Structure 1
């Protein structure tokens, strides 16, 4: 079974994440938090980005992350390939380290000018709903893959653990952006451990202090531990404005404008041209 999953890692990941997307879409339509459901064209543009990214990754990178983990295992490279730890312990550590690395990668993308250029497309969306979890520039996807590859190489993470991480992190990227109404008492319980939509929506606020907070992808502990947590938006979840003020025009929301984001000179929320966002 494991051999089959690894042989069909890409299709397995796609099938599981597509299933999560479908479930969240139904929940979003039946129990919306804000009703951020704009014109169909926006959905098409947001869904086009991962397809473009997948094509670029396929053309440029010789190995998938699971393929890299398999190669490292064959050559006995990386920490876990030198140790004899139980697979579940290795899986847990891999998930935690992956998530911590993604936290710092995300934070760096707000603090370093050249990385903010790659990332700010994700913040130009004026709505907060499921497809926003797929709205990333292909250059950011490439950078993220390289960062993950470094983590895999250092850990010598098992191929199955890498596949599990990819599925889990992709699923939470969708969940945390879904426009789903979760009862306050349940949200308060969940956010103690994982990122909820209400927790992450704060990160998409127009207010700089809120945008530069709540960086986590899976676990909420990192924001609390490193002082970047904002529990609630100042304007309330129903009244808060989303996006970046300098990219609210129609041209910025078209696919061409979205793909051109890293090459545009624009005043960032810091008030200075191409300076760090935080």
Structure 2
């Protein structure tokens, strides 16, 4: 049930974003979809298969076990159910923000995360371009957090759905009307905000780490309002990885195990 809900919402948002990108793209693609999409969607399919046959439900199962054993913060404190749900969503989002910063600043973690940043264009399929080991480590990290919080299973499912939906949205090659962009960015990470994070300029890459809520970047001073270049001219990707023969499916899986390059 948990996996069906997550996957169903994921497919619906993915299709919506793909249609939006075709109808009204924010910027032209430099490398096209013919080469990138099979690689990005291939990684997504591999990750889904590996997670479904291993630890894909770890966070949800951890929440059920915590509830049965009455362990974790919200199972021990007399907190109203609605408040526990809201705080769980908020704290898990903060934890993912912290994880994202760690992925950029811990060398061993960056070896995995750089696979995501080697995409030379930026569209909704970039949201699923992750190395399988990073996906697995992230799930184990969330499972530990769920146990510590005593998170309700419904809150865990809701968080995963929201996280996936926001990632597909804020990686989209789409733009919002200026007024909508201005005010929505006070709450959510928008595509224009997250596109800056995928800039080849390291000062911009090391900013806008939020996945769902934008408040963490503002609170911890990692927010970048505008890129050096216009949005339509941002150089996407990593300068250390520009050759097509380095960015194939097998090459991306092997990338973390090769000699690291300067960011």
SS at match of 1:238: helix
Residue in 1 that maps onto 2:2: 9
Residue in 2 that maps onto 1:3: none
Gaps of 5+ in 1: 1-7, 270-278
Q: Partners of 1:136 and 1:78 in 2: how far apart?
A: 30
Q: Partners of 1:165 and 1:138 in 2: how far apart?
A: 20
Residue in 2 that maps onto 1:4: none
Q: Partners of 1:62 and 1:228 in 2: how far apart?
A: 30
Residue in 1 that maps onto 2:92: 98
Gaps of 5+ in 2: none
Tell me which of 15, 26, 45 is aligned to 2:19: 26
1:113 and 2:107 aligned: yes
Q: Partners of 1:91 and 1:140 in 2: how far apart?
A: 26
Any residues of structure 2 matched to 1:1-278 within 5 Å, and which? 8-36=1-29, 38-61=32-55, 63-269=57-263
Q: Partners of 2:56 and 2:40 in 1: how far apart?
A: 26
C-alpha RMSD of matched pairs (Å) = 1.4
Q: Partners of 2:14 and 2:212 in 1: how far apart?
A: 16
Query: TM-score, normalized by length of structure 1?
Result: 0.91
Q: Partners of 2:57 and 2:190 in 1: how far apart?
A: 32
SS at match of 1:227: coil
Q: Partners of 2:56 and 2:198 in 1: how far apart?
A: 34
Comparing 215-224 and 45-54, the one that deviates more: 45-54
Structure 2 vs 1, CA of residues 63 and 165 (structure 1 numbering), >3 Å: closer, same or farther?
Answer: closer
Moved over 4 A (4+): none
Residue-pair matches, total = 262
Give 1:48 shift: 1.2
Q: Partners of 2:57 and 2:213 in 1: how far apart?
A: 28
Give 1:63 shift: 4.8
Q: Partners of 1:96 and 1:204 in 2: how far apart?
A: 24
Comparing 10-19 and 46-55, the one that deviates more: 46-55
- Tell me, yes or no, if the aligned pair for 2:56 and 2:139 is still in contact at 8 Å: no
SS at match of 2:231: coil
Q: Partners of 2:25 and 2:160 in 1: how far apart?
A: 27
